[in-house]
Amino acid sequence: MAHTAEILSVGTELLLGSIVNSDAQMISRELSALGINVYYHTVVGDNPGRLEQAVNTAKGRADIIITTGGLGPTCDDLTKQTLARCFGKKLVFDPRSMARIEDYFLRMRRTLTENNRQQAYLPEGCVIFENDWGTAPGCAFEAEGVRVVMLPGPPSECLPMFRERAVPYLKGLSEGVILSRSLRIFGTGESMVESRLRERMNAMTNPTLAPYAKEGEVELRITAKADTPEQAAALLDPVEAGLRSEFGAMVYGVDVGSLEEVVQSLLEEKGLTLSCAESCTGGLTAKRMTDLPGASRVFRGGVVSYTDEVKRAALGVPAALLEEHGAVSAPVAKAMAEGVRALTGSDLAVSTTGVAGPGPDDRGNPVGLVYVALAAPEGTLVRERYLSGTRGRIRTSAASTALDLVRQYLQGLLVSGEA
């Protein structure tokens, strides 16, 4: 039988929105790799009555309950007290945990208070998870057919406690493996991808296929369940091949971090350098290219030309061109890319100029109109795009369009003379 886990996060700070529930995200990701289904996340505050209600609901629909938070002195060890009560267990003093807590306070030169002693009381018969990353120990027990795992809340303790303590405890429970592969697609919308794949997706059970929209891109995740990693991979392969032939050049990578990562490795592979001239993206393209370590091997730099004067002075864009066509135009995009290529001596250069919003520009160009150019030894190519969304989204999509043009060029996907 497949196991079903529920993550129960305890903390008023989550309900006030002071922090985001990154513990639940991290644990969910790791559980899916173990082949354990997660059907619910529940968040409650530091309130014994509501926590008890949430535990009772969880007992009825999951056979693994993982709690985060509510351990330790600032909340009177709420989670441990409540979970023990819900499952009819007593808390018993554990001298070994007490010794560890005393030792921690000594090392930190802090004074041990009475409520710190509470942390050494643990549910009878539990497995104690020693906390090498903080003071409150975690623990696990089995009762009424449910496995209960309790972890501290701070992500810097929760993550290592889950990986080093809970995973070995849970490993015996998982059956088979779940493997995922992510195809990253740029150049088409989520609803278009979805409508092309809808029938296929609905017909699939193992592997499954799901599209996710992120930052103007689409991620297609194929997930297979099998007894071994090899069998799971064999299930993934034909689906991946089918999607690659369906989306062709729009697939920029599989299990990659980002478009800029793909561009960086292609440049490195071919021994080429890049620079950029940016208007509407205002430095974002350069910022993304330099986010990655090793950027200096392939990226020379760029110019952010936010005014016509800078376009003329730094990039040599002719004043007549700016006057005739305006800054948001194909000829200016071309001149910007060629100008920065000459200035930096890079092999390739991209440029962006457009209207990021919130309003149209002086010439009445609409929000979202963007020109992107790529200057290469063979010549310069310009693309016109109508991008949608907020100012931030338009800037991100414009930078992605520029980076994707470089990617397609480096992969030999551009038809010569194309515009």
Least Å distance between CB 21 and a copy of itself? 5
Instruction: State how far the Cα of 277 lies from the Cα of 284, in Å rounded to an integer.
Output: 11
Identify which of residues 61 and 200 has a Cβ nearer to a copy of itself in the complex. 61
Identify which of residues 192 and 419 has a Cβ nearer to a copy of itself in the complex. 192
Q: Which of 289, 322, 403, 406 binds a copy of itself (CB under 8 A)?
A: 289
Three-state SS at 46: coil
Q: Are 385 and 370 in contact (CB under 8 A)?
A: yes
- Residues 326-345, interacting with a copy of itself (CB under 8 A): 343-345
Please, what's the largest Cα pairwise distance for the chain? 84
Identify which of residues 299 and 371 has a Cβ nearer to a copy of itself in the complex. 299
- Residues 224-263, interacting with a copy of itself (CB under 8 A): none
- Residues 104-123, interacting with a copy of itself (CB under 8 A): 104, 107-111, 113-116
State the amino acid at position 296 in one-letter form.
Answer: S
Q: What are the CB-based long-range contacts (under 8 Å, 24+) for 356-364? A: 356/280, 356/281, 356/282, 356/391, 356/394, 356/395, 356/398, 357/390, 357/391, 357/394, 358/391, 361/326, 361/327, 361/328, 362/326, 363/326, 363/328
Closest among 235, 217, 258, 216 to 392, alpha carbons compared:
216
- When asked if residue 314 is in the footprint of a copy of itself (CB under 8 A), the reply is yes
> Could you tell me where the beta strands, DSSP code E, fall in 14-63?
37-44
Q: Which of 253, 282, 318, 331 binds a copy of itself (CB under 8 A)?
A: 282
Determine the interface stretch with a copy of itself among 143-151, 164-172, 225-233, 382-390 (rule: CB under 8 A): 382-390
- Residues 291-310, interacting with a copy of itself (CB under 8 A): 291, 293, 295-296, 299-307, 309-310
Closest among 67, 13, 17 to 40, alpha carbons compared:
67
- Residues 160-189, interacting with a copy of itself (CB under 8 A): 160, 189
Q: Which of 10, 38, 71, 373 binds a copy of itself (CB under 8 A)?
A: 38
- When asked if residue 319 is in the footprint of a copy of itself (CB under 8 A), the reply is no
- When asked if residue 70 is in the footprint of a copy of itself (CB under 8 A), the reply is no
Least Å distance between CB 282 and a copy of itself? 3
Residue 158 CB: number of other CB atoms within 10 A? 25
Q: Which of 82, 131, 135, 264 binds a copy of itself (CB under 8 A)?
A: 135
Residue 203 CB: number of other CB atoms within 10 A? 8
Helix (H) or strand (E) holding 386: strand 379-386
Determine the interface stretch with a copy of itself among 89-97, 264-272, 390-398, 405-413 (rule: CB under 8 A): 390-398
